[in-house]
Amino acid sequence: MPHKREDLGLIAVEPLAKRTSKHAFAEIRTDVDAPPPSAGDLEGKIALVADHIQNARSAGAAVILAFGAHLVRNGLADIVGELMRSGWVTHLATNGAGVIHDWEYAFQGRSGENVQANVAEGRFGTWDETGRNTHIAVLVGALTGTGYGESIGRFICEDGCEIPSLDQLWNSVENACSSKKADEHFPARAELIRVIQQFEIESGRLRVRHLHPEFSIAAKAYELGVPLTVHPGIGYDIVFTHPMANGAALGRAAGIDFSVFVHSVGQIKQGGVFLSIGSAVMAPQVLEKAGSIANNLRRQRGEEAIQPYIAVNDLATVGWDWNQSEPPIDHPAYYIRFCKSFSRMGGEMLYLGGDNRTVLHNLCCKLRK
């Protein structure tokens, strides 16, 4: 018998404007043209990473930037945009929180909330526009095989999306049923039908005005044609505190993105670069699986395994040279999981301990020169 479960459709949501948001993007925005903060002891390491990126792009190899939500909340969208525009970064990857903060900054110019206080009141994450528009964007995007990140970027750039009519969707589903040929978009159509009916969503143009699309990394990536893949966890993100919470929709979009990510990882080849900025969980976990798949496919084609140069930036103190060896099991460094995972990826790893604003701004400055 199925276990008892809560009806998430009963969650009470409130307008995002009612939330006291912690940060205005205009207050934290990093000016790409301003002098970067002193890099101190990291100067040499940042220069080394810049050299590897230059060599990778000269050789036509991929440069992937994986980042956590704090990069967004530290106002680094313009820095990331410059790295994309200049061709230094060929792929972006983030977690669910990263794209949520990114969307909220684009939508209203503010993001962040008091987690402790809002959890106690049952209000943490229960903001209508964030959950609703995220789900609608990925549901509609999946109709054409578009993944999570690209769907959000497009939704921002176009101030909404086009909702197909129920007649259109039902006809597509019925034709597939009658022919007994269901393509990869068949489940997406059926899921959207259910959501449209349940939440009484009108067909036609859904207009959602974004006050600050220039603040968005996802929008910049969409405009430039750079893949931005999102790698969320079910129940990890505030979009799951909404009545529209839909694991099928978000999982489908994330699954599309993972296949895009695998393709980009395969383009690392020998000499490409993987930058992990403040992503101690998502980045190493998806890289090791994607790297295995990429090498599986490359082996079948008679190609060599990828050899990434991995640059990892985080705040943790790491007193171990992972390129020399893996620490013994009784050493504390052995349990720095993300370093351990990255060090097993077949290439060289460099750790940069410090603030991501300092590292990324200085890196961008060196590449521009």
What integer is the mean pLDDT of 110-119?
93
Among 368, 369, 358, CA closest to 46: 358
- Above pLDDT 70, what percent of the chain? 100
What integer is the mean pLDDT of 3-31?
92
- pLDDT in the model for residue 330: 85
pLDDT tens digits, 183-211? 888 899 999 999 999 999 999 999 999 99
pLDDT tens digits, 59-86? 999 999 999 999 999 999 999 999 999 9
User: What are residue 110's DSSP bridge partners?
Assistant: 24
Q: Residues 8-164+203-368: name the CATH superfamily.
A: putative lor/sdh protein like domains (3.40.50.10690)
What integer is the mean pLDDT of 102-116?
95
**What's the number of CA atoms in the CB half-sphere (13 Å) around residue 293?**
14
pLDDT tens digits, 292-336? 999 999 999 999 999 999 999 998 887 778 777 788 888 888 888
Read off the tokens for 120: 């106690």
pLDDT band at 164 (very low <50, low <70, confident <90, very high): very high
CA distance 22 to 110: 7
Amino acid in position 350: L
- pLDDT in the model for residue 317: 80
Pairing of the two strands 23-24 and 110-111: antiparallel
Helix ranges (H only) for the chain are 25-28, 43-58, 69-73, 77-85, 96-108, 115-120, 128-142, 148-157, 166-179, 186-199, 217-224, 247-266, 282-300, 337-343, 356-368
Q: Is the pLDDT of residue 342 over 90?
A: no
The Cα-based distances of 107 to 66, 123, 291 in angstroms read 23, 20, 35
Amino acid in position 133: N
pLDDT band at 162 (very low <50, low <70, confident <90, very high): very high
- pLDDT in the model for residue 209: 97
- pLDDT in the model for residue 182: 79
CA distance 223 to 81: 10
Amino acid in position 207: R
Query: What's the pTM?
Result: 0.94
Mean pLDDT over each residue of the chain, to the nearest integer? 93
Read off the tokens for 45: 């390491």
What integer is the mean pLDDT of 275-299?
95
What integer is the mean pLDDT of 149-162?
98
Between 180 and 9, the higher pLDDT residue: 9
Lowest model confidence (mean pLDDT) among 47-51, 115-119, 298-302, 346-350: 346-350
Lowest model confidence (mean pLDDT) among 159-163, 175-179, 259-263, 274-278: 175-179
CA distance 280 to 318: 13
The b-or-e profile of 58-81 (16+ CB within 10 A means b, else e) is: eeebbbbbbbbbbbbbbbbbbbbb
Backbone angles phi, psi at 214, to 5 degrees: -70, -15
Cβ atoms of 288 and 341 within 8 Å: the answer is yes
- pLDDT in the model for residue 339: 82
Structural element, H or E, at residue 163: strand 160-163
